[in-house]
Structure 1
C-alpha cells in the first residue's frame, strides 16, 4: 500500500484515518467537501471538484468515508440519499471499472442496517433498514457487490457500530455521546426517548481506524467482503449515561419522553469474522474512551 485516496477526509473518521495513514508512511490524497481540515505537509489535500480519474491516479486503494446525510436529515426526503451519497459513489464505481486492482474500502453502517435483533447480528443477516439513510447504505453495498462481481475487483465493506471519540461533533442530532456531553458542558437538559433500556454497541475511534488499517495493509482477495466492526459489548442508554456522568463528575439533567415508533430496542453486532480473518480486536474500554472524549472536549472548546 503506497498511495491511498480518502474520500470524506474532513469528517470525523476521515481525519483520524488520514493521520494514521500518513503516520504509517503512506502517501495520502485527502478529498474534502465543504468542510475544511488541516493535515501535515505530507498529505495532498484536494477539493471535491476534481475528477475521479485524477483523484485515483496511481492509487492502490480508495477509502470511501463520505456521507452527506444523517438518518434525521433524509427522514422525509429520499432524494437526498441519491444526490448526496449514492450518486457520487456510483461515479466512483464507474471510474474504478478501469482500475479493478484499486482496493475499495467502503464504510457502511452496522448501527442502522440490521434493525432490531434478538441476538448480535452476523454479516449474513439480511438488511432491514428503517430509514432512508440505512436504505441508502444497503443500496450502496449492492452496487459495490455488483461492481466487484462484474470486474473481478477488490472491495471491502465495513459496518461499524456507534463510533465515537475525540473530534466527533454534534451533527444534525446524530450521536448520543456528543449530545450528552454537550448538554453537560452547557448545563442543559438532554431529551431522552423511551425508558433508557435500549441496547447499543459503542466503538472508540482509534479502534475503528485500526480496523481500517488492518483492511488496507493486507492484500485483499477478489470480490467483495463484509465485516462488522464493533466492541461486542451491549450497553444500555442508562449505562452509557451513567459512565458519561462518572467521567464528567456531574449529573446530566434529563427531559424524559415516551419512546417513538422509529426507535430500535436492540442494535447489536457479531464481530467474530473480523477477529478471525484479520486478527483485529478492540482495545479501548468504554470508560477509557469516554474519558478521553470528555478530556478532548474540555481542552478544545471554551
Structure 2
C-alpha cells in the first residue's frame, strides 16, 4: 500500500457480516482502499495489531455477535474490542474508530422519545447494557483514538445468500415466503425506528470521508427519525406482497420496549446526513431479493454486480451503494 493509500484506507473489522460486507463494497466502489478483517483473518493476534491495521485512517468495528435475544457473547465481544483498542494505543496509531451502538436499547425508557444523544442512558435489558459498555470502552480511550459511536435504530435490508436474518422485517417476510402466519409480539401500536441499510452505510462512509482533522461528535444517532407501529409495518408488508398476511399474536418478550425512535438532528448537522429510503421501498427490495433467491435467479442489485441508487458514497467518485446484505441487528 502506498503512503497516499494509507492516508485514505479504511479497516472493516467484521467484513463478512451484515453491515460490514456492504460497507466494504461501498467504500471500494468509491475508490477507498479497504482492509477487511474477519474471524479467519483477525485484526489483532495475541494483543498485536495487524501491521496493515496501523496504516488506516478509519477502523470500522462491526464484529459484535450479540442480539437482543442472545447476549451470551457479550463479554467475549467486549474483550475482543478492548484488545483491539489497547493494541492501537500501544502502537501509537490514532485512527478514527467507529463503533455501532444501539439507539433502540441504551436510552432510558422512562424518558419520552424521540431520543437525542444527550438523553439519559439507562438500558433496561442485558443487550443494551452490553452495547453501552462497549461504547464506554471506546469513549474512555479518546486520547488514544478518535472515537465515533453510531447508535443505530432498527437496521433492515435484503441479505446476500437467501432469506433470513434478525429483526421483524426479515422474519415477517420469511414467514410470508414459507406460507406461515406472521408472529406479532406485544402491543401492535408500539413503534420502532426502521432505517434501511443503504442509509446506514452512507452515514458510515461519510464519517470516513470527513477525515481525521474534522471534529465530529463522539456519539451520533442514525435512524429514520420516525416511529412506525407494528400495525403500520404490517400494512406495508401487505401492500408489498399484495395481500393481507395471516397474523399470530404473542405476548411481549422480556426485552421488548415501549415505543422508541431517535432524534437524528445531530447527524444531519455534523455529517449532512439523513435517511432517504422510504419504508415501502426498503421492504419491497427485501421481498424482491428473497423471492428471486427462492426462485433460483439472481436479483437485480445482488452481489453479481447490480446496484441500487441511494446516493453517492462521499470521499470518492459518485457511485451507488450495493444492495445485498446478510443479517440485520434489531436495536
Q: d(CA) in 1 for partners of 2:172 and 2:216?
A: 41
Deviations 1:243-302, CA, capped at 9 Å, x for gaps = 011111133221112334532111111000010111111111111111111111111234
Alpha-carbon distance, 1:139 to partner: 0.7
Q: 1:61 aligns with which of 58, 61, 84?
A: 58
Q: d(CA) in 2 for partners of 1:158 and 1:68?
A: 17
Tell me the residue number matched to 1:233.
226
Is the Cα contact below 8 Å between 2:43 and 2:84 reproduced in 1? no
Residue correspondence of structure 1 range 106-125 to structure 2 within 5 A: 106-116=99-109, 117-125=111-119
Is the Cα contact below 8 Å between 2:217 and 2:270 reproduced in 1? no
Structure 2 unaligned segments of length 5 or more: list them: 1-6, 296-331
Count of residues in Structure 1 that have an aligned counterpart in Structure 2: 282
Tell me the residue number matched to 1:244.
237
Deviations 1:177-200, CA, capped at 9 Å, x for gaps = 000000000011222222301110
Matched position secondary structure for 2:269: helix
Residue correspondence of structure 1 range 1-302 to structure 2 within 5 A: 2-33=8-39, 46-47=41-42, 51-74=48-71, 77=72, 80-83=73-76, 85-97=77-89, 98-116=91-109, 117-148=111-142, 150-151=143-144, 153-167=145-159, 170-171=164-165, 174-220=166-212, 221=214, 225-302=218-295
Q: 1:70 to 1:300 in 2, by over 3 A?
A: same
Q: d(CA) in 1 for partners of 2:219 and 2:284?
A: 31
Q: 1:115 to 1:179 in 2, by over 3 A?
A: farther
Q: d(CA) in 2 for partners of 1:72 and 1:4?
A: 31
Is the Cα contact below 8 Å between 2:12 and 2:37 reproduced in 1? yes
Is the Cα contact below 8 Å between 2:44 and 2:84 reproduced in 1? no
Q: 1:189 to 1:11 in 2, by over 3 A?
A: same
Normalized against structure 1, the TM-score is what?
Answer: 0.87
Deviations 1:193-236, CA, capped at 9 Å, x for gaps = 22301110111111111100111100344686110011111100
Q: d(CA) in 2 for partners of 1:179 and 1:281?
A: 26
Q: d(CA) in 2 for partners of 1:275 and 1:155?
A: 18
Q: 1:251 to 1:17 in 2, by over 3 A?
A: same
- Deviating more after overlay: 247-256 vs 50-59: 50-59
Matched position secondary structure for 1:111: coil
Alpha-carbon distance, 1:30 to partner: 1.1
Tell me the residue number matched to 2:316.
none
RMSD: 2.0
User: Which protein, 1 or 2, shows the higher relative CO under an 8 Å CA cutoff with sep ≥ 6?
Assistant: 2
Structure 1 unaligned segments of length 5 or more: list them: 35-45
